[in-house]
Amino acid sequence: MPNWGGGKKCGVCQKTVYFAEEVQCEGSSFHKSCFLCMVCKKNLDSTTVAVHGEEIYCKSCYGKKYGPKGYGYGQGAGTLSMDKGESLGIKHEETLGHRPTTNPNASKFAQKIGGSERCPRCSQAVYAAEKVIGAGKSWHKSCFRCAKCGKGLESTTLADKDGEIYCKGCYAKNFGPKGFGFGQGAGALVHSE
């Protein structure tokens, strides 16, 4: 059949696409009204389109259909999804459930107080999301403060003594050198008895 319109053909409906209504993607032309996800029918643009062969998808549907599967592959940080992609024609394979180890020599990490380390300040379990390491120990972010003044600390601003952590100012006042010439500033004199 002759191509009387002379324009390019839409990648979805195969009708002629005129310049005013054209959207280009991966060398193909589409009508603006045809540039939709093949699964959920959402409107697409250059930032949300994902192409697989001649098919176009939104990034979410593309990920569910063609992306990696398994634990840890969600839609964002901390997201859990029970969607296994059945609506996209993906067949889910059942996997064996988790079985605890029968190894009597479990790792040293797992042997630490119920599988997690304890904060030296509050003696509560410290988990990875709230863990700060200082003075060779794991602390809660909220407990990682000077023992004297309560100032929040960082690894570069702390000093430790006898298992406690201090800001550099409190450490110097309490454990630094005493006597004439050792004070809070240049030339300050402090009399200590």
Domain boundaries, given as residue ranges, for the chain? 20-64, 129-173
pLDDT of residue 112: 45
pLDDT of residue 11: 86
- Closest to 146 in 3D by CA, of 123, 169, 117: 169
* 48-70 pLDDT tens trace: 888 888 888 888 888 888 777 65
pLDDT of residue 134: 82
Return averaged pLDDT per consecutive 10 residues of the chain, 193 residues in all.
68 87 85 89 86 86 76 52 60 50 46 66 87 84 89 84 88 78 54 55
* 85-109 pLDDT tens trace: 666 665 555 544 444 544 444 444 4
- Closest to 42 in 3D by CA, of 27, 57, 29: 57
pLDDT of residue 115: 57
Please give the model's pTM, rounded to 2 decimal places.
Answer: 0.36
pLDDT of residue 107: 45
In CATH, what class is 129-173? mainly beta
Q: Do domains 20-64 and 129-173 have the same CATH topology?
A: yes
Provide CATH code, domain 20-64: 2.10.110.10
Q: What is the Cα–Cα distance from 190 to 193, expressed in whole angstroms?
A: 10
